[in-house]
Amino acid sequence: MSNILLVGIDGSEPGERAAEFAANVAQAQGAKLLIAYVIEWSPYSFSTAEENEVRHKRREEEIETANSKLMEPLLNRLKSGNNDIEGLVLHGHPAKTLNYIAKDRGASQIFVGRTGGSGISRLLFGSVASNLVQTAKIPVTVIP
């Protein structure tokens, strides 16, 4: 079994708690911790070449902002007890992207926070946590 744990964060308090919980588990198990922030993005957009160029630049700016404002502070805080932590910022559908990362990197478990969203959009589209619980090929731990 792999000694890599994956945690998906979204900038919320439950996401922060999931990262802290996963960091403690990784430290206790001597595991590597991958922290992933997935920026919601759909490739299904029909644009002109000029619009695609602007869109690509905007994606790069989003990644840089997420790294500097979210990922780097979190990594700095969690690295005190863990030597083997890596942060990833990607675009895509969060649950699908986390599943891809888990498979690609050989993770043995995924951790995510439950944001407790409600309303019609949650009923129609579900949450990242519930989607992962239903589709992941490895155990998923949902942190309230």
Q: Encoding tokens for residue 121?
A: 């959009």
Binned at pLDDT 50, 70 and 90, residue 118 comes out as: low
Tell whether the model's pLDDT for residue 123 goes beyond 60.
no
User: Which of 36-45, 102-111, 122-131 shows the highest mean pLDDT?
Assistant: 102-111
What is the enclosing helix (H) or strand (E) of 111? strand 109-113
Tokens for 142?
A: 């949902």
Q: For residue 7, is pLDDT > 70?
A: yes
pLDDT for residue 82 is more than 80 = no
Report d(CA 127, CA 36) in Å as an integer. 17
pLDDT at 47 over 80: no
**pTM for the full predicted model:** 0.85
10 Å Cβ neighbour count for 79?
A: 13
Per the listing, tokens 């708690």 go with 17
Q: Which two tokens stand for residue 1?
A: 């079994």
42 pLDDT band (50/70/90 cuts)? low
Structure tokens at 101: 């990362």
Interatomic CA distance for residues 87 and 79, integer angstroms: 11
Task: Band the pLDDT of 89: cuts 50, 70, 90.
Answer: very high
Domain ranges of the chain: 4-143
Decide yes or no: CATH 3.40.50.620 for domain 4-143: yes
